[in-house]
Amino acid sequence: MRKIVPVLTGLLLLGFGNQAAADWQLTFGRESGQVGVTVPANAEDLPVGPSSFRGVGQDLWVLDSVKGRVICLDGSGNIKKEVVLPKLKPEFILSDFALQTGQNNEVTGVVALDMMAREIVVANGEGVELRRIAADGLIQLDEIDIDSKGQIYVGDYASAKIAVYSAAGKLLRTFPWQASGFCVDENDNLHMLDYSEALGHSLVTLSASGAEIARQTVGMVDMQNPRIWQVGPDGERLVSFVAPAGDPTQQTLIMFAAAGEVVGKTVFTSPYYINRYLACAAGKFWLVRADYSNPFEVPIKVEPVSISR
Amino acid sequence: MLLVVAVSLTGCDAGQILDTISKVASGVAEAIPKVREVINSVGNAIQSTNNTAENETPANNGNAEQNAPNNAAVRITSAGDDEDIGAGTTGIGQPSEAVSAPSPSTGVTARIASSIRSLIGSTRFRGADVDGGNLACAKVVSTALVNAGVLNRVRLNCDDVVADLRAAGWRSVRVPPYQEGDVVTWTTSRGPGRHIGVIVRQGNSFQAVSNSSSARTPRVHSINYMPITQVLRKV
């Protein structure tokens, strides 16, 4: 049977609407302070909108994946800064970004992953390209972070490893990773998770030089899909899990103290289509709620997450 | 054969886009033999309206349609097979046929996972039969299942893969927990069950491998990156 399917691929644009206190709401538009979304109508793929959100101080930073830039919204929802990622190729897929911060949370550098080109784009806080690193040897560029000295970490789900690059762009080393998130703390230590059938989950800390400096077993063998999101200045680590049963979109968010014990917990429903949907900063946490498949009806909302202690 | 009509728009507002959808759909339904004329006329209209939108970033985020120049051109492509066949999928909110606890990867599930992993990053799924990689998910999954000895033929649409698995004794299961080697279908803009992949495990992280229309290659991603339609497992 022959079918004829009309297909529309539209580049839609987002704008920022009214703010609730300490929250952000993003709606579609096309002005300079707006972000984009692409809704495929005849592809297997997902709609693409802002793929990654991060918090710095009281600000929300958004990877505007369609327009190829990063924007910063202040606590009132006003656009505080725009960093246009330089020299992107005609086809790009921006999967994640990270921010290098200096004193008083000043953003001094932006790194982003172009999954299509398999390149790491490194720019200063004004969007001037410092370098472009070809991630040879990696298959997919999925997650990125950067420490205070500019050392870059890139996670690859396909090869299940993290690659470490110097601030100058030289590949320093790679090491195994179970695709369970990672983050860099203010002391430039890398935090990730490790799972074994015998022990369950462990919180692992590596120094900037790659040496393992701490490992705390937390068990929780019945949980799946761990992901570490943030390490606070006091060593608290925020980790999400998928519970053993129930709604597959529902996750349990657990705060582990520096010593490894559970000090807080909550449950949330993760959104579709977004890579980094929890933003963390200054002891606060925000969850992104959005439906890029229905951009005219559903705005992006960034809402605070309360963790019961 | 599926005749795919792709209208690529940029710099249009919501009203223009919805209006264009309506015009194209109406034209196709009423005059299939004249579909090219209809589409071209719509495309010309879009072109004229789009001329006012300047300086938009020609971003490409994902789809073969977007690979066309960012000028609101109308592109007509032809896929080798119709992936839009049939229904019969089980919504995630509906009762599944079986509940099965996860178990360590057995020989078969390990083979399936290994087989699909071997296809990640491959450029072999970009032929005309899968619209250059835009609609290759069923071929990717069925190729992995054939290579793992689970199925005996490569399929080009999701429903055929699901039907073959059901005939081989696979059933819908509730998730979580996930298990390596599970076959998962997702609901896309094209409807429920229109995308298919295989669940793989790294540590205790269960992810999925499926074809990416944007990258035109199989890749690893979150299982919940789109709404799940159903998860199939050999029970």
Q: Is A233 among the domain residues?
A: yes
Q: What is the pLDDT of residue A3?
A: 29
Predicted confidence band at B104 (pLDDT cuts at 50, 70, 90)?
low
Count how many domains chain A has: 3
Which residues 41-80 of chain A have a CB within 8 Å of chain B? 41-48, 65-68
| Mean pLDDT (whole number) for A129-137 | 93
Residue A153's pLDDT is what?
98
CB A140 within 8 A of CB A177: no
Q: What is the pLDDT of residues B92-102, one digit of tens each?
A: 333 345 444 44
Mean pLDDT of A267-279: 96
Please name every residue paired with A227 in a beta bridge, in sequence order, or none if there are none. A240
Question: Which of A5, A38, A39, A42 is the mutation pick for testing B, counting most B CBs within 10 A?
Answer: A42
Can you give the pLDDT at residue B103? 55
Rounded CA-CA distance B101/B51 in Å is 57
Q: Which domain range does residue A53 map to?
A: 1-58+279-309
Q: How far is CA A262 from CA A186, A236, B179, in A?
A: 22, 10, 27
Per-residue pLDDT band at A190 (split at 50, 70, 90): very high
Q: Are A212 and A253 within one domain?
A: yes
Quote the minimal CA–CA distance from A89 to chain B in Å: 9
Q: Is the pLDDT of residue A13 over 70?
A: no
Beta strands A143-146 and A224-231: pairing type?
unpaired
Burial A92-124 (b: 16+ CB within 10 A, else e): bbbbbbbbbbeeeeebebbbbbbbbbbbbbbbe
Tens digits of residue pLDDT in A21-74: 448 988 767 777 778 888 887 777 789 999 999 999 999 999 999 999 999 999
- 3-state DSSP assignment of residue B82: coil
**What chain A residue is nearest to B29 in terms of C-alpha separation?**
A4
* Mean pLDDT score across all residues of chain B: 68
Same domain for A100 and A133: yes
End-to-end CA distance of chain B: 34
User: What's the one-letter identity of residue B36?
Assistant: R
Reduced to 3 states (helix: H, G, I; strand: E, B; else coil), residue B33 is: helix
pLDDT > 90 in chain A, percent: 72
pLDDT digits (tens, 9 = 90+) for A78-115: 889 999 998 898 889 999 999 999 888 899 999 999 99
pLDDT for A213-227, tens place per residue? 999 999 999 999 999
Per the CB < 8 Å rule, is A226 touching B82? no
pLDDT, greater one: A12 or B130: B130
A168 falls within a domain = yes
The answer to whether residues A172 and A105 belong to one domain is yes
Residue B170 near residue B100 (C-beta atoms within 8 A): no
**Residue A80 belongs to some domain of the structure:** no
- For residue B124, the model assigns a pLDDT of 96
A292 and A304 share one domain:
yes
Q: In the listed set A177, A203, A230, which residue is the last one of a domain according to the structure? A: A177
Nearest to A142 by CA among A108, A98, A86: A98
Q: At what angle do helices B35-50 and B14-30 cross, to 10 degrees?
A: 170
Is A185 contained in some domain? Answer: yes
Tell me if A77 is assigned to some domain.
no
Q: Is the pLDDT of residue B140 over 50?
A: yes
CA closest to A139 among chain B residues: B121
* A27 and A96 assigned to the same domain: no
Residue A1: inside a domain, yes or no?
Answer: yes
Check CB contact under 8 Å for B61 and A38: yes
Phi/psi-derived region of residue B113, left when phi > 0, alpha when psi is between -120 and 50, beta in every other case: alpha
Backbone angles phi, psi at A247, to 5 degrees: -70, 120
Distance in Å, alpha carbon of B224 to nearest chain A alpha carbon: 6
CA–CA dist B98, A288 (Å, integer): 33
Interface test with B, best of A44, A225, A227 (most B CBs within 10 A): A44
Are A253 and A283 members of one domain?
no
How far is A104 from chain B, CA to nearest CA, in Å? 33
Residue B12 to residue B175: CA distance in whole angstroms: 40
Q: What is the pLDDT of residue A138?
A: 95
Among A177, A212, A229, residue at a domain's last position: A177
What would the mean pLDDT of B192-216 be, rounded to a whole number?
A: 95
Q: Is residue A67 in some structural domain?
A: no
Q: Is A3 on the interface with B (CB under 8 A)?
A: yes
Q: What is the ipTM of this complex?
A: 0.90
B205 touches chain A (CB under 8 A): yes
pLDDT 10s digits, A229-272: 999 989 999 999 999 998 889 999 999 999 999 999 999 999 99
Whether residue B181 contacts residue B201, with contact meaning beta carbons closer than 8 Å, is answered with no
Determine the Cα–Cα distance for residues A130 and A110; give it in Å rounded to an integer. Answer: 10
Residues A23 and A53 in one domain: yes
Q: Which of A116, A241, A261, A257 is nearest to A180 (CA)?
A: A241
Q: Are B180 and B109 in contact (CB under 8 A)?
A: yes
Assess whether pLDDT exceeds 70 at residue B204: yes
Contact B135 A43 (CB under 8 A): yes
A303, part of any domain = yes
Question: Could you tell me the strand order of the sheet in which A224-231 lies?
Answer: A224-231, A237-242, A250-256, A262-269
Report whether pLDDT(A118) > 80.
yes
A93: contact with B, CB 8 A cutoff: yes
Q: CB–CB of A93 and B62 under 8 A?
A: yes
Q: Is residue B128 pLDDT above 60, yes or no?
A: yes
User: Where do the domains of chain B lie, and which CATH numbers do they carry?
Assistant: 2-79 (no CATH), 107-234 (3.90.1720.10)
Cα–Cα dist B164/B61, whole Å = 33
Does the beta-carbon distance from A197 to B104 stay under 8 Å? yes
- H helices of B31-80, in order, are 35-50
Amino acid at B81: D
